[in-house]
């Protein structure tokens, strides 16, 4: 009996000024092993992040998304899910889950993998924005735009392939809550500032000019409104921006994770000490990790 293994990477979106536009895939993710037409019928096993709180029935997000595509075929399948992505931390856990669900739905319905474009369009529709979806599906550094059922994205190069340091508060922040804090409109001054920051940020990353990256990783659209939601988060970001070993720092996705580029291969998580201290002082527990960039994106392979 043919089974499938699907792996969808985590992602960090926005990178400061690229609100709902920029996304970067990271080397951790969700792995789904799918067994169509399982002899004993439906079975769902979960391990890793969220295993103690997520449902173990058809209401699980991956299964429910697949059911929208494949219908009753999900009832005859075996599902084994392992996640390395902290939930509701701004690391693209929902996009990765949606990508696994969409891929599984097409595999159950058609018996063959969907195209990357099919996956990207469907996941972007579900997410409502394409930044995490583009990074998750195609990997690497992505810029995306568009509207429902008409999304587009382009891969962007980064000189010297840095790693990413993430400071991850052990406090969840739902995207819906974080979006509710955003204003309905912005001033021309703020719009121009963000456009300028995006342009110079992309130039800095493409050329490997980390001084330019540091100056350009600024935002007026979402970070000023989201950072106050978690005690100590603003101070922690300021600490990361002062750290000599980090290049550019931002609120990852909707937060509360903070991220920064690490261009020196000898840099360790010790460079997050001041940021962790600021969060601890405010009563917010957090951990720091360094991740490589995932350049592959979503993978689907047969398991015989």
DSSP symbols for 17-80: T-TTTEEEEEEEEEEEEEETT-TT--EEEEEETTTTTS-SSTTSHHHHHHHHHHGGGGGG-EEE
Q: Quick one: 151 and 175 in the same domain? A: no
| pLDDT tens per residue, range 252-281 | 999 999 999 999 999 999 999 999 999 999
| pLDDT tens per residue, range 225-241 | 999 999 999 999 999 99
Q: Quick one: 23 and 149 in the same domain? A: yes
Q: Quick one: 137 and 10 in the same domain? A: yes
Q: In the chain, pLDDT over 70 holds for what percent of residues?
A: 100
pLDDT at 1: 63
| pLDDT tens per residue, range 171-186 | 999 988 999 999 999 9
Q: Quick one: 63 and 81 in the same domain? A: yes
Q: Quick one: 14 and 132 in the same domain? A: yes
Measured in degrees and rounded to the nearest 5, phi and psi for residue 281 equal -60, -30
Q: Quick one: 152 and 189 in the same domain? A: no
Q: Quick one: 20 and 150 in the same domain? A: yes
Find the domain containing 47 and state its range: 3-157+294-303
Q: Quick one: 54 and 153 in the same domain? A: yes
Q: Quick one: 18 and 142 in the same domain? A: yes
Q: Quick one: 47 and 80 in the same domain? A: yes
| pLDDT tens per residue, range 91-108 | 999 999 999 999 999 999
What CATH number corresponds to the domain at position 213? Answer: 3.30.70.890
pLDDT interval class at 155 (50, 70, 90): very high
pLDDT interval class at 160 (50, 70, 90): confident
Q: Quick one: 61 and 122 in the same domain? A: yes
Q: Quick one: 228 and 299 in the same domain? A: no
Interhelix angle 93-110/61-70, nearest 10 degrees: 30
Tokens 């568009």 appear where? 146
């Amino acid at each position: 009996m043919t089974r499938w293994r699907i792996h969808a990477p985590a992602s960090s979106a926005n990178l400061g000024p690229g609100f709902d536009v920029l996304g970067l895939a990271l080397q951790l993710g969700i792995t789904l092993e799918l067994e169509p037409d399982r002899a004993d019928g439906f079975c769902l096993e979960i391990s890793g992040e969220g295993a103690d709180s997520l449902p173990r029935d058809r209401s699980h997000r991956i299964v429910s998304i697949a059911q929208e595509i494949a219908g009753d075929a999900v009832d005859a399948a075996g599902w084994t899910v392992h996640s390395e992505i902290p939930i509701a931390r701004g690391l693209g856990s929902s996009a990765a889950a949606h990508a696994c669900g969409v891929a599984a739905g097409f595999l159950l319905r058609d018996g063959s993998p969907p195209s990357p474009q099919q996956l990207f369009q469907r996941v972007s529709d579900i997410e409502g924005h394409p930044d995490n979806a583009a990074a998750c599906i195609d990997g690497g550094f992505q810029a995306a735009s568009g509207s429902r059922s008409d999304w587009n994205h382009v891969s962007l190069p980064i000189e010297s392939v840095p790693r990413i340091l993430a400071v991850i508060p052990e406090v969840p922040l739902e995207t819906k809550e974080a979006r509710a804090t955003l204003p309905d409109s912005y001033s021309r001054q703020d719009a121009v500032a963000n456009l300028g920051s995006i342009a110079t940020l992309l130039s800095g990353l493409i050329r490997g000019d980390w001084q330019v990256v540091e100056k350009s990783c600024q935002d007026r659209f979402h970070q000023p409104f989201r950072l106050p939601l978690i005690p100590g988060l603003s101070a922690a970001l300021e600490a990361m921006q002062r750290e000599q070993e980090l290049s550019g720092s931002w609120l990852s996705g909707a937060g509360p994770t903070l991220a920064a580029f690490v261009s020196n291969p000898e840099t360790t998580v010790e460079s997050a000490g001041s940021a962790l201290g600021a969060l601890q002082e405010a009563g917010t527990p957090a951990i720091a990790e360094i991740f490589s960039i995932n350049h592959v994106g979503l993978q689907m392979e047969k398991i015989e």
